[in-house]
Amino acid sequence: MSIASLFQDAFGVEPAGTATVPGRVNLIGEHTDYNGGNVLPAAIERQVHVGFAPDAGDQFIIKSTRFDAVVQRPVGDPKRDDWTDYAVGALNKARALGWLEDGARLLIESDIPDGAGVSSSAALITAILRAVAAAIGEAPDPVEIAKQARSVENDYIGMPCGIMDQMAVGLADKGKALALDTVSLDFDVIDIPSDWAFVVLHSGIRRELSDGRYKERFEECEAARQSLRADHLCRLNAAQDAAIKTLPAEQQRRVRHVVSDHKRAIEAAIAMRNTDFDTFGDLMNDSHASYAEMFEASHPGIDALVATATRLGARGARLTGGGFGGCIVALVEADKADAWTKAVLAEHPKAWRV
């Protein structure tokens, strides 16, 4: 059933605007986006669908097909640490942009898993902004939508994320990767070679970016940046690079990770353009080791899943997303992906394919 039909069933009226946005998997370049580095995300098949209609009242009336209850939140309501916060934040942003005057009715249908590192929140916020814009006949530039969606997470949710997720869900289509410079916002959409498969497996370990550990890593990176007097931690000059050794040991590790993963993201984009399967896989493996050991954002269960993935034939595998749980992404030969997935999941019964 279409999102328009679901909206009609839920609210008894037709939606004024609808939008569909995919989730994303980050192939390489983790925690580099808010540190001024490069990233290489790709769209996944799972999507969020949103139906929207303005409402003359002073309430946001929100329903998700995942839940029975309809939630009402006052216009302008502050964050409550509730699942509807992302929707309210996006609708408040739409009001601030002049796209919405009063309240709204909103229906959400999504098969993007939460807490998995595949950008369910960025996809939802982006879809809501697009649906509201569509209702008034606007089609904003995807980069501008990404900036506004990021501000919802930064300013309303309080999550100090970079702009990678919002750019990825707004600009990458299935079968393509987005090579993004997060400082200039210059990007290149790259075709993923047809004989490559990036398989995303959920570890079964859920994590919440709001639990404090993501923010803690952000603050460690920011403290290091200020100590080094750098504009962007991923882009140090020779003197700043030499000064890394003067930082506290923990900050040194964080800097080493983001600097090296920035370089790996650039090299990985080149490898993909050149269809260099082996080099791309090596970069993924190096990235996971750095993420786990230098950034200390992995989990024993994740490390075990990555080890099984490579032992059973993946050319490269790594934790993807904000860390501390969620998904891995593995590079395998496309014609072997299904058999490989079945073998991995047989050894990890709590994991599942996204």
Buried/exposed code over 65-79 (b: 16+ C-beta within 10 A; e: otherwise): eeeeeebebebebee
Report, as an integer, the average pLDDT of 102-129. Answer: 86
Q: Amino acid identity of 302?
A: I
Question: Degrees (nearest 5) of the Cα angle 32, 38, 43?
Answer: 95
Residue for token digits 């369910």?
120
Give the tens place of pLDDT for each residue, 301-348. 999 999 999 999 999 999 998 888 889 999 999 999 999 999 999 999
Architecture of the 3-191 domain: 2-Layer Sandwich (3.30)
Residue for token digits 């599942």?
352
Contact (Cβ atoms closer than 8 angstroms) between residue 117 and residue 288: no
81 is catalytic: no
328 vs 342: CA distance, rounded Å: 15
Angle of helix 142-151 versus helix 120-135 axis, rounded to 10 = 120
Contact (Cβ atoms closer than 8 angstroms) between residue 202 and residue 239: no
Enumerate the domain spans of the chain: 3-191, 196-353
Contact (Cβ atoms closer than 8 angstroms) between residue 37 and residue 173: no
Pairing of strands 59-64, 103-110: parallel
Give the tens place of pLDDT for each residue, 234-246. 999 999 999 999 9
Contact (Cβ atoms closer than 8 angstroms) between residue 300 and residue 293: no
Residue 295, both tokens: 């950034």
Does pLDDT of 210 surpass 60?
Answer: no
CA dihedral 247, 248, 252, 253 (to 10 degrees): 180
Report, as an integer, the average pLDDT of 85-107. Answer: 96
262 vs 208: CA distance, rounded Å: 24
Does pLDDT of 1 surpass 90?
Answer: no
Contact (Cβ atoms closer than 8 angstroms) between residue 164 and residue 83: no
Contact (Cβ atoms closer than 8 angstroms) between residue 219 and residue 168: no
pLDDT of residue 292: 97
Q: Catalytic: which of 33, 55, 85, 165?
A: 165
User: CA torsion sign, 26 to 327 to 297 to 210?
Assistant: positive
Question: Which residues lie below 8 Å from residue 61, measured CB to CB, with a gap of 6+?
Answer: 11, 55, 70, 71, 72, 103, 104, 105, 106
- DSSP-derived 3-state class of residue 246: helix
Helix intervals (H) in the chain:
3-11, 85-96, 120-135, 142-151, 164-171, 213-228, 238-242, 249-273, 277-293, 300-311, 337-347
Residue 337, both tokens: 């992906």
Residue 294, both tokens: 């230098």
Give the tens place of pLDDT for each residue, 34-75. 999 999 999 888 899 999 999 999 999 999 998 888 999 999
Give the tens place of pLDDT for each residue, 144-201. 999 999 999 999 999 888 899 899 998 988 889 999 999 999 999 999 999 999 999 9
Q: Which CATH number fits domain 196-353: 3.30.413.10, 3.30.70.890, 3.30.70.20, 3.90.600.10?
A: 3.30.70.890
66 vs 53: CA distance, rounded Å: 20
